[in-house]
Amino acid sequence: MKKLKIRICTFDIAKYGGIVKNVESRVQAFKEMGHDVDIIFLTYNKTIPINSYNKKIKDLEDGVWQDKQDYRSQAGGYTKSEITGYWRNSYYGWLLPPYTNRIPIFADNALELWHKALEDVDLVFWSFTPTKTKEAKGLNFWPKFFDLPERTKQVMAVHDGYFDIRNSWIRYLSEKITLLDCVHLSAYNCCDNFDIPRQLNFASRYIPDNLHLTTMSERPVDFFAAHVFKSMKKMEDLLSLTPHLNKGSSMWIGGSGIELYYMTTTDESKFKPKYTASLKTDPDCDPDEIGMSLWERAKKHGMEHMGFMSNEDVYMVQKNAKFSVDPSFSKHYAQYSNTHLNGFTIEAIINGSYPVLRDTRGLVEPKCEIEDIIHEELRAIYVPWDVTPKQFAGYLNEALKMKSEKYLEDIQHNFKLAQILFDPVINMKRVIDNSMSTKKLKRLSCGENSEVVIKQSEKIMTEFFGCDVPIDWS
């Protein structure tokens, strides 16, 4: 195989979550295949203070950075990546060298720096276009960063089942983007709304040769969930169910995010009522606990918050947790899949922790008939999206009664499934093969620009970004 020069690039976003491990797996896979690979970010700045960057690196190397952080802060959890060589955080991404690997797009010479960084690059693997953030308002020149030589193939990773809504303007890059690489079924199906070839290429994770095989009884933590606290994740569902778990059961929760502040703030003007124990949030709530914050109520019943965790810490807990719980669901995603698969669940599978997911069938009417390999093949505890907290806890309490033989059989089945679906070398080879071969590219599924995408994308491109459309690539 020809050695390629590959750069994984993106416009900065606020938070990364499981995308960090996904990208690192890609980097490692490309390196194992013998390619030249690196990461480059385009950040919404005019300059990048080099002294501040150097000081942060020194504080991290001296081990004093973590001591400065509040337990709810996403700024903790930095570790040095053996794969990329950069310090990285699963919320903010990587600390990249200024001007070579992190380019300020508002600098006068930004495009010059960009083209120098991509000199002789064969494949650009994008993660994000500019989105509707305040930093990108009026950013009318952003398409120029996609205006690369024809020999440079450009692939866009699609991590989001909302991609057709949040990135509808990708349709204007159809001449530049070779294919959409979709990391889960929701992302793949929503991209049927674009006239760009796409492939389903599940989120990659490096998978050990052998499963960390331990019985359920050998795992001291009953239930574990580590997620970014945002509305779709439904972390409040875990808080609400905790009082209904069997006495003595352990519930560990990791992560941070804006919703955590709303759950824990003492400022009544910022606290959200939906995070209060009531008959609405929990119909089976103990009358004496009505009015308590869900957070304090869950702590009272034994929930432990691990704070913002590094990827390594998440892996360590998963190796010791019986069940890894993802309470998330959304009506939009339910159009495209029967359950949601994220990086946390993939990591649970490869660490031998039994997954707990939401079943979203029936959330969208009329009921969608969807071919969903994860829902059909993954052995998990599937909790209906509309259960009460007590009913949700009932599924978990029942799971603890699972026979040891079934537990071991199922986690071994899931591990073998992961080796087939999530192997990064196989998946990245597919990216290269399809993007570099016109013949293979033509075999991929390709949708049509939907009426909603056409209308919304033109409005956002002209009114928000201030771009002239259609884009003149001449």
CB 325 within 8 A of CB 224: yes
CB 143 within 8 A of CB 26: no
Taking the C-alpha atoms of residue 234 and residue 189, their distance in angstroms, rounded to an integer, is 23
Number of Cα atoms under 13 Å in the Cβ half of residue 154: 21
Strands 251-254 and 381-384: what pairing?
unpaired
pLDDT at res. 122: 97
Taking the C-alpha atoms of residue 93 and residue 23, their distance in angstroms, rounded to an integer, is 10
pLDDT at res. 368: 65
pLDDT at res. 230: 85
Backbone angles phi, psi at 424, to 5 degrees: -70, -35
Taking the C-alpha atoms of residue 91 and residue 103, their distance in angstroms, rounded to an integer, is 19
Which segments in the chain show pLDDT lower than 70?
Answer: 1, 14-15, 17-18, 67, 69-76, 366-368
Helix (H, G, I), strand (E, B) or coil at 218: helix
Taking the C-alpha atoms of residue 58 and residue 74, their distance in angstroms, rounded to an integer, is 19
User: Which amino acid, residue 232?
Assistant: M
pLDDT at res. 210: 87
Reported as type and span, the H/E element at residue 200 is strand 197-200
User: 206: Cβ–Cβ under 8 A, 6 or more apart, which residues?
Assistant: 25, 28, 424
Reported as type and span, the H/E element at residue 3 is none
Which tokens is 113 given?
A: 């720096």
User: 403: Cβ–Cβ under 8 A, 6 or more apart, which residues?
Assistant: none
Domains of the chain: 5-206+424-464 (3.40.50), 216-421 (3.40.50.2000)
Taking the C-alpha atoms of residue 158 and residue 185, their distance in angstroms, rounded to an integer, is 10
CB 338 within 8 A of CB 304: no
CB 449 within 8 A of CB 195: yes
